[in-house]
């Protein structure tokens, strides 16, 4: 199956950027390498800076659709899934994502575009989180903090992955989001109870140990827990 024109242009651009440098590569060079013309390039991209970036429009649209069907009760799950969708997009790019990171580290125009795109994700998350929290104590402030924290958590893990510092980006994102999402719940609200089902265990010390494990920081905090014994 022929590779779609947009994908060929992206692949051609990165090949040329790696081979001869970003500044030395022109739109005409990219179009020629991709086997298209200049006019075809501009039907897909406004300039060579844009060909480097992910398709943020499509990705933001998918996130908006996911968040739109969430409720306050499912907010945490929705935000985890949305952040996971962004990470999955970059992981699927593989070497392209890593090449983009190298370019953004050395080309100010690309770095500026990427920085601006981050704010679009913060605004999208913020819009939906405000809808879930604004009627709660300190809700508007918490909404802003959570929106920024989710994006920061994702970007922290993404940078570690593109730099080759982690082999488990999905697991690290899950852990990072546990920290980022703490303020989804009103800190002043009472903790939910932890339910311990003993199952007929006679060893009291063993039961106590398992209760302590269930109540350990970061485990079952702020949500009902079941510690089977």
Same domain for 173 and 87: yes
pLDDT at 106: 87
Maximum alpha-carbon separation in the chain: 78
pLDDT at 189: 62
Same domain for 179 and 98: yes
- 129: its two tokens: 């989180």
Query: Residue 154, class by beta-carbon neighbours within 10 Å (0-12 exposed, 13-18 middle, 19+ buried)?
Result: buried
Same domain for 141 and 81: yes
Q: Which range, of 13-27, 122-136, 203-217, averages the lowest pLDDT? A: 203-217
In a domain, 98, yes or no: yes
CATH number of the domain residue 38 falls in = 1.10.10.60
Query: Residue 197, class by beta-carbon neighbours within 10 Å (0-12 exposed, 13-18 middle, 19+ buried)?
Result: exposed
| Count of domains observed in the chain | 3
What residues pair up with 228 in beta bridges, in sequence order? 197
Q: Which residue has the higher pLDDT, 176 or 104?
A: 176
pLDDT at 176: 98
Last residue of a domain, one of 29, 48, 67: 48
In a domain, 81, yes or no: yes
Same domain for 58 and 30: no
Same domain for 173 and 66: yes
Q: Which range, of 2-16, 75-89, 99-113, 188-202, averages the lowest pLDDT? A: 188-202
- Region 202-222 average pLDDT: 62
CATH number of the domain residue 84 falls in = 1.10.357.10
3-state secondary structure of 154: helix
Domain extent, residue 84, equals: 53-184
In a domain, 26, yes or no: yes
Is residue 109 very low, low, confident or very high in pLDDT (cuts 50, 70, 90)? Answer: confident
Is residue 227 very low, low, confident or very high in pLDDT (cuts 50, 70, 90)? Answer: very low
Instruction: List Cα–Cα distances, 5 to 2, 32, 41, 54, in angstroms.
Output: 9, 12, 9, 15
Same domain for 216 and 174: no
In a domain, 109, yes or no: yes
Same domain for 60 and 44: no
Same domain for 180 and 89: yes
Q: What one-character DSSP code corresponds to residue 135?
A: T
What residues pair up with 197 in beta bridges, in sequence order? 228
Same domain for 106 and 60: yes
Cα-Cα-Cα-Cα torsion 104, 109, 110, 113, nearest 10 degrees, comes to: 130
Query: Residue 101: how many CA atoms within 13 Å on its side-chain side?
Result: 17
Last residue of a domain, one of 166, 184, 202: 184
Res 61 pLDDT > 50? yes
In a domain, 189, yes or no: no
Task: Tell me the pLDDT tens digit for each residue of 156-207.
Answer: 999 999 999 999 999 999 999 999 999 998 777 665 565 666 666 566 667 6
**Percent of the chain residues past pLDDT 70, beyond the cut:** 82
Same domain for 211 and 178: no
Sign of CA dihedral 72, 76, 79, 85: negative
Task: Tell me the pLDDT tens digit for each residue of 1-58.
Answer: 456 999 899 999 999 998 999 999 999 999 999 999 999 999 999 888 889 888 899 9
In a domain, 38, yes or no: yes
Same domain for 207 and 155: no
Same domain for 146 and 57: yes
Tokens 């109870």 sit on residue = 193
């Amino acid at each position: 199956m022929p590779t779609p024109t947009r994908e060929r242009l992206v692949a051609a651009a990165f090949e040329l950027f790696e081979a001869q440098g970003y500044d030395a590569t022109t739109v005409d060079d990219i179009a020629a390498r991709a086997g298209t013309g200049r006019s075809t390039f501009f039907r897909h991209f406004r300039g060579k800076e844009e060909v480097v970036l992910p398709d943020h429009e499509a990705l933001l649209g998918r996130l908006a659709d996911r968040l739109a069907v969430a409720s306050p009760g499912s907010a945490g799950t929705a935000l985890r899934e949305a952040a996971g969708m962004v990470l999955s997009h970059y992981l699927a790019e593989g070497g392209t994502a890593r090449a983009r990171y190298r370019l953004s580290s050395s080309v100010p125009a690309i770095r500026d575009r990427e920085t601006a795109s981050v704010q679009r994700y913060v605004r999208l998350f913020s819009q939906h989180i405000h809808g879930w929290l604004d009627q709660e104590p300190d809700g508007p402030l918490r909404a802003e903090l959570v929106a920024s924290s989710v994006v920061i958590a994702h970007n922290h893990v993404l940078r570690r992955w593109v730099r080759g510092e982690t082999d488990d980006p999905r697991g690290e994102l899950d852990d990072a989001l546990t920290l980022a999402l703490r303020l989804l719940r009103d800190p002043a609200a009472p903790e939910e109870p932890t339910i311990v089902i003993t199952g007929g265990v006679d060893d009291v010390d063993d039961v106590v140990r398992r209760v302590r494990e269930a109540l350990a920081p970061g485990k079952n905090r702020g949500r009902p827990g079941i510690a089977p014994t």
